[in-house]
Each structure stands twice: as C-alpha cells, then as structure tokens.
Structure 1
Amino acid sequence: IKETLFFFGGIYRLKATFINSQCEFLSKLLDLPPCDRYVKTLSGGQQRRVSFAVALFHEPELLILDEPTVGVDPLLSHSIWNHLVRQSTEHGRTVIVTTHYIEEARQAHTIGMMRSGRLLVQDSPENLLNNYRALSLEDVFLKVCIKDDGKNPLDRETATNANDSNPVAAPIQNSTRRNSNLARNINQIDTSETEHPSSGKSPCFKIPQMSAHRIGALIRKNYILSFRNIGIFLFTYFLPALQASLFNVTLGHEPTGLRMAIVNDELDVNQGRVCNYTMDCEYSMLSCRYLRYIKDNIIQVQYANVSDALEAGRKGQVWGVVHFSWNFSKEFEMRELNGDAADLANVIGSQIGINMDSSNQQIGLFIEKWLLDAFGDFVRDFRRACGNVPEAGLLPVAFLDPIYGQKSTPFTEFMAPGLIISIVYNMAVALTAGVFITERKQGLLDRSLVAGVKMPEILLSYLINQFTVLIGQTALVFVVMLSVFNIPCQGNLAVAVLITLLQGLVGISFGLLISTGCDNEMGALSLSQASFLPLLVISGICWPIEGMPLYLRKVAYVMPLTYAIESVRCIFSRGWGVEKSNVYAGILVSFAWIFAFLALCLIVARIRKFAS
C-alpha cells in the first residue's frame, strides 16, 4: 500500500513530507490495512479503499468519484462524506459523485437525477424536497420518474434537445438562476494558456513533452516489481549465461564412441586374426598399418565377414563397415609399382571398401573425414619409411594457411556470434512481452495514464529498467563465451558488445510492441515464441545464408538479427572494425529496428486508446 501511494506521489511530484503525512491521514480516514500489506492480498472492499486513497492523495481541485462508499460500513461512509464536504466548503474543491444511494447524496450542494442517460432534474437537496413536497430524496426521484413516464416520447425528446438540464418539475426559477451563474463563471475562465492545434496538423499523434519526475517514479516502480520475487529475478538474470554454457558444452564438438565394423580379410584365421606389421618399408599387413592411424573417436569392432558386418549396420549397431580384401597389401604394392599402367583388377584390389550409415549427416561427415585423414597419414608415413617424398602420394591439391581463421575451425566458432545475439535478443523479448498486459489487468496502466503519465514515458522507463538488466546479462554471456570456453575474438570486443546491447534493445522494443498489442499473457507468449524459430533459421545463426534460395535471402536480410550476427561474426573471426560496411551495417540496422518498434508501440497504443 505504501509503495502504491509513494508511486503516485512521485508521479504528482509531491514532497516526501507531504507524502508521509497523506499516507498517515488517509490510512486513518479510510481505515486502511497496514501499509506494508500487498494490495493483491487485500479484500475487494479494502482494495477499493486503497484506490480511493490514491484518488484523494494529491488533493485534486476536481474529484470525480463513482460509488465511493459502496461496500463500506455506515460509520466509515459518514467519515468519507464529511471529508468530501470539508474539501468542498473549506478548500473550494469540486467533488462530483455518482451513486445509487440517493439519501447519502443529501450532503451535496447540488443533486442531479438521471434516468436512461438523461438529466431529469438538478437542484439543491432542500429545493428538491420543498418543490416536490417530499420527505426524502427517494420520494423526489419517484415523483420525477412518474412525471417523466407521463410525457409522450416526442415531448421527452424535444425537452431533452432543448435543454438537457431542464427539470420536468414546474418550479425551475432557482435552477435557471444557478445555471446562469454557472455560465457566467465559465466565461470568466482564463484560456490564455490553452493550446490549440494548428489547422494543418492533427493533434492525435503529437508526441507529448516528457517529465523527468514521472519517468523516475516509473523506473522506481519497475525496479520494485523486478526485485519483488528475487528468486525469479536471479534465475532470469543468469539464464542467458546458463544457455551460453549449454551451447558450448553440447554443440560443435567432435562425436566420440562411434562404432565401426572392420572386416580385414588379410588376417590369417589360423593365426587367430592377429595384426603383425612393422613400420619399415614392407608391403605386408598394410591394412593393419592403416587402421593404426584412425582416430580414437572411432571404436573398431572386428567382424569375420562382410555379411555379418552389414547386418550389424542394418540393426544400428555400427555406423559403417570398412573392408580390406585378402590381397590388399600385394595389390597396393603392384599399384605403386605399375603407376598409370595398373589394370582395373589391381585398382579394385587395392581399394578400401567403406559402406556408411548416412542417416546422420554430421556423424557421416566426421567419420569420412577421419578415415581420409588416416589414409593421408598412412601414405605419408609409409613413403617416408621407403625414402620417398611423403606428399608425392597425395592429391595435387594443397590447402595453405587460411586468410582468416584456422585450417580446422570448429563449428562452435561459427555459431557463437549468432548464439550470443539470439540469446540476448530472445531473453529481452521474453522479459518485456507481458509487462503492459499485467499492468493493464491490474488497472495500474490506466490509472497511471489518468494521473498524467504519457505513453512515451512508460516506454522509456521500461527501456531503462530492462537495459540495466541487459547490461549484466550481456556481460555474463561474453565472460562465459570468451573466458570460460575460449571462443576467440580477433577484433574489437567493445564493438561486438555494443552491437549485442543494441540487439537487446531491439528485443526489448519488440517485446513492448507485443505487450502493447496483446490483451492476455497467452497471446503475448504465443506471439513471442512464434517469432523465435523463424529468426533462428533465417538469420544465419545455424547455417550460412548463402545456402538459402535467392528469394529467401532477401527475407533473411530484412530480419532484425541478420546484419548484427554477420557484424559480430566478422569481428570475431576476421578482426574487422567499424570502418567495414559489414560491421557498421549491424549498428545502423539495429538502431533502425529500435526506432521502428518503438514508433509502432506508440501507434498501437494510440489506436487502442481511440478504439476503446
């Protein structure tokens, strides 16, 4: 309760001493629960009294109340009416009250009785009782309604159009005199400071002037709500770092424990199929010599024949079959000696037959690469033992030092920039997609707008709050990526952090747009989650954009994350700076999306306002 009153006190720019005195006074006047109670734990009647306290808090010159004493005990109702009367008589404030309890309105200076949206009569309580010769205001209202029912519809409409405030009763001299005085007072109102929109501009989308004290009050309120549940806050704060850790632990690493069936017909069954080979220049048991160079990630499982090995592959027990013919070493020697003169039978006999389970492309590519690398190492080592040039037996294609990166750049380094930006972006969207919805359901958003808060101020306050959280989340993600898992960054780290923070602001802006346009949490959650997968697959996070169809590439470059990911990737792997178009494009596009989303927020909020 105290936080609520202090929040609106900050919006109205009230001094701390006045806020404290008002809290104490209104607590006694309205018999409020202890100030440290949460509003959500109060009963319906207590919540109405807190709402009433907010309305009275800043002592407005015009106070409009709808059923202020409903559900309130008679003693408290009497106290409330006495306070309203004092506000009017002693401080000159105007109080307009709507109520179904006619008798309690007797303390008002003027009473207007309405029926079906029409004002039937308006006068002081004393004049109404005297003019209608009634003992209670309820009797007055009854007589007025009976008189109104006696008029035909045409006369009723004519009377309404002629003068909405004209009573149906005969004696109206006092009312007419009071209306003339009211009109004279209205004419005396100073309108010199009233701003009139120019004829050529529409005032509907005029950006209002923002106030620092209102923004400060909104920021304090947002921080209080953020830290209210410290467990949830800490979880969301460290969640991006946890996601980055899971990415580095699970993605991009070489698979291990891959079983491959080995069928080596060179081994003698009578000698127990034992590999006996030397490292000299001898064309004997070359199959065993080759198997020695296969990476330990592959588990070699010996099979007696090809049919059993293939059956194991069909059952999913092995990822492939490696077969050596019984005369592999001899045919390999003949192929070396004959060179281009080797016949087809000699070529086939010296080949290593491999049948792969290609159902998993990534594992298949790893195994294929390791088997080829093993053969290259085998050939180089064997030719070196024979006194020949080791590279002479390889393909006449040499991959020299790369321009950027390493010869065997891991896939993790390719995905890291995209994962960093996507983690920060999606976390920002998730944290802001429901903020307006919650406040709208609680009534806090409308109450703030009525108190004079402008929509740009609300957006700016959320941007500031979420950005401070975003800074810490981004720092943790970069620490995990670069320091813990040693992802290299060849360029300016500050520029990469700047682009990531801008993408976080893009996510915050998009989340605010979702929250502005949706009416419930389910719709906001669905929309935010629905945008996740398209961005993941189209923005070049997991796969190069060059692998997409041409028409889809144009769509990809329109996405908020694409240019930013490419910029950070160029900084990480190529060491480029902001002077390169690939880098500064990510900065410019991020700013463009931020302003676009915020502008859409204001437009959607204005449309919802006029539509309602």
Structure 2
Amino acid sequence: MQKDIEDFKVFVSSHRFASETNSDPGGGVSRGHAVLVRKATKSYGVGRSRSTILDGLDMTVKKGSIYGLLGASGCGKTTLLSCLVGRRSLNSGEILVLGHEPGTPESGVPGPRVGYMPQELALYGDFTIKETLQYFGRIYNLRSAFVDSQLEFLSNLLDLPPSIRYVKTLSGGQQRRVSFAVALFHEPELLILDEPTVGVDPLLRRSIWNHLIRQSVDHGRTVIVTTHYIEEAREANTIGMMRSGRLLAEESPKNLLRNSRRPSLEDAFLKLCMDEINDSDEQSTVVAHCTSNEDGQTSATVQPDDNITTDNSCNQVDIHETDTGRVHHTNGQASSATPADLSNALSNLGIPNKAAKMKRKNHTTNVALPSLQRLGALIRKNYLMTFRNIGIFVFIYLIPAFQAIVFNVTLGHEPMNLKLAIVNDELSSGNTCNYTTECSYSMLSCRYLRYIKKNIIQMPYGNISDALEAGKNGQVWGVIHFGHNFTEEFEIRQSAGDSASLENIIRSRISINMDSSNQQIDVFIEKWLLEAFGDFFKDFMKACQYEPEAGYIPVVFLDPVYGEKDTPFTEFMAPGLIISIVYFMAVSLTAGVFVSERKQGLLDRCLVAGVTMTEILIGQLVNQFSILIGQTTLVFLCMLLAFNIPCHGNLALAVFITFLQGFVGMCFGLLIATLCDNENSALLLSQASFLPFTVISGVCWPIEGMPPYLRNIAYSMPLTYAIESLRCVFARGWGIDRRDVYVGILISIAWILGLLILCLFVIRIRKYAR
C-alpha cells in the first residue's frame, strides 16, 4: 500500500488535480489525456557502463493538442517515443497511451490508433510511392478506394513526386515526405513524429504544420512532434523541453516566453538549461513552475517531495498522512481517503495499482492469432522485394547450382599428370626395353611399366640418389626402383616358390619411395601401382598358359552390397554437399534480410503498425521457402542429370529431407537475426558456423573417423542425421521405413520446432530488455 500511496502523492503533487477531476467527473483523468507518463526511468548497460536515458520523467499530453518535444540529440526523445509506441519498455515508471498501457490489447498501440514516423527513413527503396502506401494500407486493412484518395490528397499536401517513382530514386527530403505520408494516411488518433520536417523547405514546413493544426483542431487528433527547429514549435499547444532524460518545462509557448522573459524559444530553452546547471548542486526540497494556460486554468509542475507545495499563483496542494489514511488539501479544502479509496483513486486517475498491473501482465501473455490480411501484405512485400532486384534474384537462385557445379568439377576426381621418377638399373648394362607379350622372362621391368595408368608421368633417372633428390625437391611424387637383375631374380622366385631365399625375394622386389605429404595422392598412386602389378602379372601368367589367379593372395572382394567397387568420392560427398548448400544459403539469406529490415527501421515501423513478430517470421518463412524450392530443384538437376550422381532410392523422399534441412537453416537464420543488431554480426555468426558444421557433420569425412568424444558432438549438430539419412536414400536406396532414414526426418522436424520456439523466446526477452 505504501507504494500506491507514494504513486498517488506524486500524481497529485505534479498535476492539475482539481481542474482535471472537475472537468472529467467520470473519474478518468486519462480520458482527457492522450499520453500520461509518470516517473519514467530507462537505462542501458550494467555497472559502470550503465547509462540513464530517461530519469524520472513526467509528461502529460492532452487529447486533441499538439505537443512539441524539444531537446538536443541524445537527450532521450527517441527513446521516449519508442516507449510510447510500445517498442521499448521502461525500467520503472508508468506510461498510458490513449488510456491504456502500450502493448495491451485495449490500447491499440502498437496498431492502427497510432501513426509513427521514426528518425530513420524506414521505407522500402524498391517500392514505388503508391506501393508503399498500398502496403501499409493492407497492414491497416484499409479499403483500396480510401488508400487511393489519401494518396492523391497527401501528394498534393506534401508535394510528393509522381506515385510511380521508386523510393530509392527520391532525394532525401522527398523520402522524408513519403515517410511522413505513411504516418498520416490512415488518419490515426495519435500521431508521433520524430523530426518530420528535417530536410524540408520552409514553405512545405509551413504546410505540414498547418495540416497538423487542422488535424488537431478540426478532428481532435493528438500530435507529438520532435524537432530540431525550436522556433517552429511555437505552433504547438504545449512544449516539453527535455534535457538529460528529464523535462525542464512543460508549458505553452506563450507562457514559456513570458516566464523566461526571453524573446525566442531557443533563448528560453538555453535559460532553462543554464538554470538547471546552476541549481544542480543545490538540492531543493520544492521546485514548482506555476503557469496560467490560455484557457485560464492554472497548473503546477512539482518535483516529488514529502513537504507541502504552496504558491500564491497556484492551487495549494498539501499532502500529509493521518492515522486513517491520507489527507489532501486543494484550495484549503480537505477530504480524507482510506486505503480502499486510494486504490480506486489510483485506478480512476490512470495510475495502475497492483491488481491492474497483474491484469495487464496477463493480457500481454495472451498470444493473438496471426492476421491473414497482414500476412498477405507481408508475403506480397517479401516477393516484391525479391523479384524487383533482378541481379540479386538471379544470384540467389543460381548460386547453389553454381556451388554444386564447382564441387563436382573440382572434387572427387582422380588426380592427373602426377610425375614419378623411374630408376631402372636393368637398362644400365646397355639393355633396351622389350615390349613383347609372349611368355618370355625378358626385361620384365619395362613390361610392368606399360600397365601403369596414364595419370602418372614416368620420369627416367640414371641413379637412385638423383631420383631421391628430385623427390625431396618436390619435382616428383615418388621413386620406382628396379634392381640390376630384376627379371632373373623374379624368374628364380617364380620357379622356387616357397623355397625362395630371402636374398632372392629382396632382389626381385620393386622398391618404391613415396612423398606421403599428400595422403590422397599417396593413396591414389599406391592403388594404381598395385593395380598395374596385378594386371601385369595376370597378363604374364596367361601368356605362359598358367592360371592367372594362381599368384593372387587368397582374399577376394566380390560385388559390393551397395555402391560399386570403385565408387567415386564425389558420390560419398554429394548428399552432404546438397544438404550443406541448401542449409547455409537459407541461413545467410534469412538472417541477412531480417537484420537489414531491422537496421533500417523497417521492422520497427511494421511492428508499430500492429504487425506481430509471429506474422513477420511466418512471412519470411513463406518467402524463403519459395526460394528454397528453386534452389533445391537446380541443385538436384545439377547433381543427378549434369554430373550423373546416382540416386538409388525415392527421389521425392530425398527432396523432402533436403527441404526439411532448408527449413532448419531458415529457422537458424531467424535466430541469428533476433540475436544480432547489424548485418556484419549476423554474417559473421552465420559464416562462423559453416566450417564447424561442415566438418563435424560428416560432409567431408566419415564420422567414424572422429574421436569417440567428438562423435557425440557431431550427432548433436542439425545436419548430421539428415546427411546420413540422405546418404541412405542415395547410395542404399532405403525408404522411410528404415531407422536411419526416419530418424533424420524426425530430428530435422525437432530442430525446426526448437529453433522457432527459441526465436520467439529471444524476441520476447529482447523486447522487454530494451
């Protein structure tokens, strides 16, 4: 109750209690006011880096009036306006807009009851002026005839360029006028304009202010406007002069000039700032500014204190506690208030009590269903933004196919033109190579070299030392050495069989020294040399009419269960590549578009118009899904048709698994966008995840080759099970009934749901943390 009493005391001591309650006997002070702000405090950071933006600010805006909010850059004007439209929340204090707290269903804020023009341009550059108004018209669910009439009216009022002009082709001043038109055109009850006349010529500025005055006088609309042109605020009914997060004064321009005895508002503002600096070291117990409004009413703006505030030119307000509750005196008349009366008074005066706060809290936790009208507008906007930029559109659709082409052209193929040093000591005695195919033990070293694949370039060397030196210098990948009597020793070994001596076995060997710094090339050369010896020996045995298989080791690899004996490495990597291309393109595009809209103020403007984050997320997902369809189609066409990657299973199932991973990528991109405030951080985070996900998820190398502790991490990645699932479909022809396939599908769905829930959670946390 003590907290409520203090709130009641502050309200009574800082506002025209008597006149307001008498003019609105129904008990709703907020009914006579469009905006009430009490003890608003907003700060950022923690500890020593904590910065206070709003410092116990009080503000009152009467309905149907123009309120000019003045102050230097950084004094908290934009933060205050963001709190009024529900885009930021206070650390402490109360705000009522149109009788309710912003963000509650009853307030209509954010929503169509408020027109908001932010400092940023907050317009879609690839839209025409007409399309811009039509987009917001769909957001507000306005009739097309009304939108067209407003377009014509505002074009004349604001001297807009032709409506078919694209926003990005307009000058800065013209763009500001279009942004102003967006705030005006749905005729809201409350207009909140953050520096609408910046970059506007004086004649047009005069026209804008005349229109605002007509809106206020003729239609009873409330206008809150900030401006750097202090003198133009003379047109406002009330001026709030703001400095360092507090209002120095809140009076009519006429009274402000009279009380300050200054000829201009700029001089009056300067005097107030200097007075505040001079008084900052002296903590006054009472600071009162009493003025007379043009309608004859008096008002007092009092800083909260437990003492009596009295001034001969104002109503006397005396507050003190009694045993039964609180007594307030107005003009010498006293009335008692019990705690129950106090609670009712707080409610009537627009200061929420604890029960009201709990009620509002329950309201804010309600989840509204997405609006089909707004969803349609968002989806249409996303498609227009995508297709308007032809270069970006083509790039987005073709880059995955280009990546697939580059992969298939560069990876998985046998290396070519590998140089090997050949040292054949059989030729040192003047012998020449005999390329006979008969059963003859003559120059078998030359006969063997004929079976080496053409991928290897044979480089003859005279001695082993020169050949080894060439290998050390990187001139050749290895050295093949034949002894002086290789053919004779080989013949003796064949004749002796199991009784061959160790010296004979050593002299009949083909000695090979390899540069094993590149494992893949090492493996290929070793494989080719062994295959060459197998072909050489098989052909020689056949020429001598022996059984060709007699000399082989008693281990044979028959037809494989899946795949082929010489399955290219490309086929192993293809499923992982398809998944990773689609996944990371979805991550980058979704995060980039979302963050870009937020940085330019587009996201805030849509949210103030009543669009929910759920609708924005759905709109982005729908748009990115259509892009995903095209990207996936082109990737599969490149893989299956252009490069003949076999798919032994159901192609529709393979495409479905890929689509799911694309959705996972979109959701991860949205999560990145909700965490990051600019494109650079979003790009860095998305790119930083690329290499770990690619390597650990088994795209390039089997997970079985990882340490056991790393395998658990690998299987926790969003791509791993999906890649294994797609491999089973491609290489093994398995269907959805197999565990390895349906587990990949279920885990992908779980990732989608988990990331979406996490996105909504982060959005909610960040909204209230601002």
Partner of 2:387: 227
Partner of 2:479: 321
The equivalent position to 1:18 in structure 2, one of 129, 143, 146, is: 146
Query: Which digits, 9 at most, give the CA deviation of each residue in 1:113-157, with x for residues without a partner?
Result: 55663585667x89x699989999969979x97999999821227
1:288-307 to 2 correspondences below 5 Å:
288-307=446-465
Structure 2 Cα separation of the partners of residues 168 and 36 of structure 1: 60
Q: Quick one: which amino acid aligns to residue 595 of structure 1?
A: L
Structure 1 residues 452 and 395, CA gap change in structure 2 (3 angstroms): same
Shift in Å at residue 78 of structure 1? 3.8
Q: Unaligned regions of 5+ residues in structure 2, if any?
A: 1-128, 289-300, 317-329, 332-343, 351-355
Partner of 1:510: 668
1:34-433 to 2 correspondences below 5 Å:
34-69=162-197, 72-97=200-225, 111=238, 117-118=246-247, 153-156=284-287, 159-161=302-304, 170=313, 206-267=366-427, 269-270=429-430, 273-433=431-591
Q: Quick one: which amino acid aligns to residue 310 of structure 1?
A: L
Partner of 2:135: 7
Q: Quick one: which amino acid aligns to residue 494 of structure 2?
A: E
Structure 2 Cα separation of the partners of residues 28 and 304 of structure 1: 94
Structure 1 residues 338 and 203, CA gap change in structure 2 (3 angstroms): farther
Structure 2 Cα separation of the partners of residues 487 and 54 of structure 1: 53
Q: Quick one: which amino acid aligns to residue 34 of structure 1?
A: P
Structure 1 residues 305 and 102, CA gap change in structure 2 (3 angstroms): closer
Could you tell me whether the CA contact under 8 Å between 1:436 and 1:512 is conserved in 2? yes
Q: Normalised by the size of structure 2, how large is the TM-score?
A: 0.70
Q: Quick one: which amino acid aligns to residue 178 of structure 2?
A: V
Structure 1 residues 172 and 106, CA gap change in structure 2 (3 angstroms): farther
SS in 1 for 2:286: helix
Q: Could you tell which deviates more after superposition, 416-425 or 83-92?
A: 83-92
Q: Quick one: which amino acid aligns to residue 684 of structure 2?
A: S
Could you tell me whether the CA contact under 8 Å between 1:319 and 1:357 is conserved in 2? yes
Query: Which digits, 9 at most, give the CA deviation of each residue in 1:528-576, with x for residues without a partner?
Result: 1111111111000110000000000000000111011100011110011
Structure 2 Cα separation of the partners of residues 129 and 279 of structure 1: 114
Residue 690 of structure 2 is aligned to residue 547 of structure 1: no
Structure 2 Cα separation of the partners of residues 130 and 309 of structure 1: 99
Could you tell me whether the CA contact under 8 Å between 1:118 and 1:160 is conserved in 2? no
Q: Normalised by the size of structure 1, how large is the TM-score?
A: 0.87
Partner of 1:559: 717
Structure 1 Cα separation of the partners of residues 423 and 240 of structure 2: 102
Q: Quick one: which amino acid aligns to residue 567 of structure 1?
A: S
Q: Could you tell which deviates more after superposition, 310-319 or 291-300?
A: 310-319
Q: Unaligned regions of 5+ residues in structure 1, if any?
A: 178-182, 190-194
Q: Quick one: which amino acid aligns to residue 4 of structure 1?
A: T
Structure 2 Cα separation of the partners of residues 71 and 280 of structure 1: 96
Structure 1 residues 324 and 230, CA gap change in structure 2 (3 angstroms): same
Shift in Å at residue 79 of structure 1? 2.8
Could you tell me whether the CA contact under 8 Å between 1:114 and 1:121 is conserved in 2? yes
Partner of 2:93: none
SS in 2 for 1:65: strand
Residue 732 of structure 2 is aligned to residue 574 of structure 1: yes
The equivalent position to 1:496 in structure 2, one of 644, 654, 658, is: 654
Q: Quick one: which amino acid aligns to residue 139 of structure 2?
A: I
Q: Could you tell which deviates more after superposition, 364-373 or 382-391?
A: 382-391
Higher strand fraction: Structure 1 or Structure 2?
A: 2
Could you tell me whether the CA contact under 8 Å between 1:567 and 1:584 is conserved in 2? yes
Structure 1 residues 333 and 431, CA gap change in structure 2 (3 angstroms): same
Shift in Å at residue 99 of structure 1? 5.8
Q: Quick one: which amino acid aligns to residue 243 of structure 1?
A: Q
1:447-458 to 2 correspondences below 5 Å:
447-458=605-616
Q: Could you tell which deviates more after superposition, 208-217 or 575-584?
A: 208-217
Structure 1 Cα separation of the partners of residues 310 and 131 of structure 2: 46
Structure 1 Cα separation of the partners of residues 202 and 499 of structure 2: 116
Structure 2 Cα separation of the partners of residues 250 and 152 of structure 1: 76
Shift in Å at residue 269 of structure 1? 4.2
Q: Quick one: which amino acid aligns to residue 26 of structure 1?
A: L
Structure 1 residues 383 and 30, CA gap change in structure 2 (3 angstroms): same
SS in 2 for 1:397: coil
Shift in Å at residue 262 of structure 1? 1.8
- Residues matched between the structures, number: 593
SS in 2 for 1:323: strand
Structure 2 Cα separation of the partners of residues 362 and 31 of structure 1: 70
Could you tell me whether the CA contact under 8 Å between 1:103 and 1:136 is conserved in 2? no
Could you tell me whether the CA contact under 8 Å between 2:138 and 2:377 is conserved in 1? yes
Q: Quick one: which amino acid aligns to residue 670 of structure 2?
A: L
Q: Could you tell which deviates more after superposition, 504-513 or 554-563?
A: 504-513
Structure 1 residues 138 and 297, CA gap change in structure 2 (3 angstroms): closer
SS in 2 for 1:459: helix
Could you tell me whether the CA contact under 8 Å between 1:122 and 1:167 is conserved in 2? no
Structure 1 residues 522 and 505, CA gap change in structure 2 (3 angstroms): same
Could you tell me whether the CA contact under 8 Å between 1:218 and 1:461 is conserved in 2? yes
Structure 2 Cα separation of the partners of residues 463 and 532 of structure 1: 21
Shift in Å at residue 44 of structure 1? 4.1
Q: Quick one: which amino acid aligns to residue 282 of structure 1?
A: S
Structure 2 Cα separation of the partners of residues 585 and 240 of structure 1: 26
Shift in Å at residue 3 of structure 1? 2.7
Structure 1 Cα separation of the partners of residues 392 and 205 of structure 2: 41
Structure 2 Cα separation of the partners of residues 152 and 267 of structure 1: 108
Structure 2 Cα separation of the partners of residues 360 and 280 of structure 1: 38
Shift in Å at residue 167 of structure 1? 11
Partner of 2:6: none
SS in 2 for 1:433: helix
Could you tell me whether the CA contact under 8 Å between 1:435 and 1:512 is conserved in 2? no
Higher helix fraction: Structure 1 or Structure 2?
A: 1
Shift in Å at residue 75 of structure 1? 3.6
Structure 2 Cα separation of the partners of residues 106 and 451 of structure 1: 29
Structure 1 residues 36 and 276, CA gap change in structure 2 (3 angstroms): same
SS in 2 for 1:18: helix
Could you tell me whether the CA contact under 8 Å between 1:422 and 1:561 is conserved in 2? yes
Structure 1 residues 451 and 289, CA gap change in structure 2 (3 angstroms): same
1:468-487 to 2 correspondences below 5 Å:
468-487=626-645
Structure 2 Cα separation of the partners of residues 406 and 20 of structure 1: 67
SS in 1 for 2:457: strand
SS in 2 for 1:489: coil
Could you tell me whether the CA contact under 8 Å between 1:426 and 1:507 is conserved in 2? yes
Q: Percent identity?
A: 64
Structure 2 Cα separation of the partners of residues 121 and 349 of structure 1: 106
Partner of 1:180: none
Partner of 1:192: none
